[in-house]
Each structure stands twice: as structure tokens, then as C-alpha cells.
Amino acid sequence: MSYGTARCNANGVVVNRNFDIEWEEGTDDPSSLMYRGPASESEPEMRLLLAWFLIHVSHMLSTLTLMARRMRSGGMGQRRALYFMNLISLLTPMWQLSPQS
């Protein structure tokens, strides 16, 4: 098994290309190492990952917020704090979709 085929699931899809964000950057060619699948989030691995993420996202948001505040106030650097604040802003819309919200 080559490295390229090891990256594919049983359907021949490279799962890290199957996510909805930047899905268009993959290819429709099933023989390609960039094969994204027939549709975004079409693969069972991706759906499982997204379901887990939506269940746990509110906890992740509170943890990231706390980390960013501690970094900013503890002298860990504005750059790291900004990274976490940007991550929080990306996750917040997903939290609003979460079944726990």
C-alpha cells in the first residue's frame, strides 16, 4: 500500500478533502490523491467527526476562551491570544448549531 492509498478511506476518498470548507479545492477524479468525494461531508468518517465536534464544541469554546484570556493577561503574547480568539470566532457559529445550545 502506498502512502497515497493509505490516506483514502474504503470509498477511495481522501477524508481531509471531504470537509465542507474548501471542498472545491479537491478533485472529482477518484484516481487522484486529492479526491474529495461525491459531495462535501459525504463520508461516514467526516459525519462522525462533525457529530462529535458539535456535541463537544461548547466545552471547547469555553476552554479556548479561558486559554486566550490567560495568555493575554499572563504575558504569553498577543499573537497566541489572537490565534485563540480567531479560532473562537470560527467555532462560535458551529456552537450555535450544536444540539446542546
CA 51 – CA 32 distance, rounded (Å)? 27
pLDDT in tens, 55-92: 777 777 777 777 767 766 665 566 666 776 777 777 66
Q: What is the pTM of this model?
A: 0.54
pLDDT of residue 101: 42
Q: Name the more confident of 36 and 100.
A: 36
Average pLDDT value for residue range 21-40: 88
Strand partners, 27: 35
Higher pLDDT: 42 or 68? It is 42
C-alpha cell at 79: 499573537
